[in-house]
Structure 1
């Protein structure tokens, strides 16, 4: 089993990252004066996520490319900008088979992924209803998601699967406002919005979805799959469609549950956000650090993987599911077993 390595989140504008022997050195340079902020063993870091104006030395870029350390760049709102990709690795025969499967049997894998997403979304709503009481919105969404799951049990066309995924998401987010207990006024969450997010909950969701998407892309490359060729999300230049496919499985288990906890426990509030001139909502620096700390802790939690029948850390899910998908594409598994939340 792959060891869950540390992820490093750089959110301080203007810092400089470089490699010094076997360590990663993080410095602040102001008017020619260097201040060392942190020095870490470089081989203990699995991923580096840079937000804002972060400078990285050519030596560190080269090391990340050669070692497979995932290095990604985002703007301060969490919008993905670029990542560092080294020499192409993995089995070329696996990628060729991936392309054949996408052409011949993409709808079935898309159906399985959407079923897992809907099941996890419904479980999250059911848990809230069990712990905090029901409401008309919750009951309506839970019942409709059950009906959609039943419809997804039969063979469908790609367009039907896509339509059911969209309808399920609409019902889920219509009830999601009920799950955020401090949202009585609707100011924290008022329906899913993106590019830019229009409220605090959407700001955190978009930020963490973006980070997790890049982690999934790295996991797919690690097993030799092409992250740009997906089953549910069709190819688009510059988009990691397969990473977006697997992200659907992890939204509720990894991100949505964490965001609900942060707001319901009072770890985040309206005062932790700013709104720009076009209505986009962004986390303040200190709040962003708290979010990443909570996310890193969330990834350390252990769950029992039903297919593997063993305990794994949540942060290993992208690597585990990428491995299982590769095994299915090779023909070692008859069906791809997607991950979903248990009741």
Structure 2
């Protein structure tokens, strides 16, 4: 349980939310673990087996505090709000910004700059973990190139096409050396470039599946704060595509997803034989490999990190929810700029 940005996040399974006059109580096994005045909260988010009493729901509705319920894995289930909601104003602000070329380019540039910084961090971390003689020169060259791209994004006046051009250049530089980050000598884990639909090797299968998990978490977080996951800035509208979730993925995929995949391979927690190849060449995980990845993903989300903007220690699994709320605050006009997540 943690309160951040006027939001109470409850991850303790079996928690029960109750009302005590003007307070919210969080009880676990008949023991009151937390008591907060309702006026200090803007929303409550429960993950998994979190329940609420009818009186507590009524209090939240009266005081304009939204109740959000997600699965333990972060998939959005439901949001309960009172008769007056600011979400329509938030979504109108989101739609206006998405239709404004300057606003769209500004938000997209912020997301891409964070993506470049986090990609560079993953490469630098790999270099630090090796002896000086064992550091691939190509990785250091990619770090230098990403540093130059990040500097240009921050200094140049951007339109959306230029932002996308820099994003593409950064992705190419990053994935060109991704194979150098894999310590396993197994042929199954050779990486020769990003392939998506379908993934054509084991590493791409792991990346694609982990990106799907991350996208679902982000989409649930966006729903939880009242944003429309389908209307983005870097990624434009397309039927059935969660464009805004894909936007926020750009800043988070390298530190959250890529590092997990690399760790699983390099620590030999994923076996080379845990994949199947179809006649078309598509590669998929077997049940044991998929289970191992899911377990590792949930364990990773329980790890903690210091949030660079909030300057508080938070669970990694809460980062998508915090970034969604910061983006909502920015779109409402409460922040001068969106503080993208940059791993440090």
Aligned-residue offset at 1:335 = 0.3
Aligned-residue offset at 1:187 = 4.4
Aligned to 1:45: 48
Q: Is the 8 A contact 2:111 2:247 kept in 1?
A: yes
Structure 2 matches for 1:32-71, cutoff 5 A? 45=48, 68-70=69-71
Q: Is the 8 A contact 1:4 1:316 kept in 2?
A: no
**CA displacement, residues 115-160 of structure 1 (integer Å, 9 cap, x when unaligned):** 0000000011011112213213212211111110111012211101
In 1, Cα distance between equivalents of 2:231 and 2:177 = 32
Counterpart of 1:271 in 2: which secondary structure?
coil
Aligned-residue offset at 1:185 = 4.5
Of residues 311, 314, 317, the one that matches 1:312 is 314
Q: Which runs of 5+ in 2 are unaligned?
A: 14-45, 51-66
1:309/1:96 Cα in 2 relative to 1: closer, same or farther (>3 Å)? same
Aligned to 1:144: 145
1:90/1:184 Cα in 2 relative to 1: closer, same or farther (>3 Å)? farther
In 2, Cα distance between equivalents of 1:44 and 1:323 = 16
Aligned to 1:18: none
Of residues 87, 107, 110, the one that matches 2:108 is 110
Of residues 261, 264, 267, the one that matches 2:266 is 264
Which TM-score applies when normalising by structure 2? 0.76
Which TM-score applies when normalising by structure 1? 0.76
Aligned-residue offset at 1:269 = 2.4
Aligned-residue offset at 1:341 = 1.5
Q: Is the 8 A contact 2:47 2:70 kept in 1?
A: no
**CA displacement, residues 2-21 of structure 1 (integer Å, 9 cap, x when unaligned):** 435389xxxxxxxxxxxxxx
Q: Is the 8 A contact 1:177 1:189 kept in 2?
A: yes
Aligned-residue offset at 1:190 = 1.7
Tell me if 1:98 matches 2:99: no
Aligned-residue offset at 1:188 = 3.2
Aligned to 1:19: none
Aligned to 1:135: 136
Q: Is the 8 A contact 1:177 1:183 kept in 2?
A: no
Tell me if 1:234 matches 2:232: no
Aligned to 1:167: 169
Tell me if 1:3 matches 2:9: yes
Q: Which runs of 5+ in 1 are unaligned?
A: 8-42, 48-65, 73-81
Structure 2 matches for 1:225-304, cutoff 5 A? 225-304=227-306
In 2, Cα distance between equivalents of 1:313 and 1:71 = 14
Counterpart of 2:273 in 1: which secondary structure?
helix
Counterpart of 1:128 in 2: which secondary structure?
helix
Aligned-residue offset at 1:71 = 9.7
Aligned-residue offset at 1:250 = 1.0
Structure 2 matches for 1:169-184, cutoff 5 A? 169-183=171-185
1:230/1:143 Cα in 2 relative to 1: closer, same or farther (>3 Å)? same
Aligned length: 280
Counterpart of 2:337 in 1: which secondary structure?
coil
Counterpart of 2:306 in 1: which secondary structure?
strand
In 2, Cα distance between equivalents of 1:92 and 1:173 = 40
Q: Is the 8 A contact 2:76 2:221 kept in 1?
A: no
Counterpart of 1:288 in 2: which secondary structure?
helix
Tell me if 1:123 matches 2:124: no
Q: Is the 8 A contact 1:198 1:281 kept in 2?
A: yes
Counterpart of 2:293 in 1: which secondary structure?
helix
Aligned-residue offset at 1:184 = 6.7
* Aligned Cα root-mean-square deviation (Å): 2.4
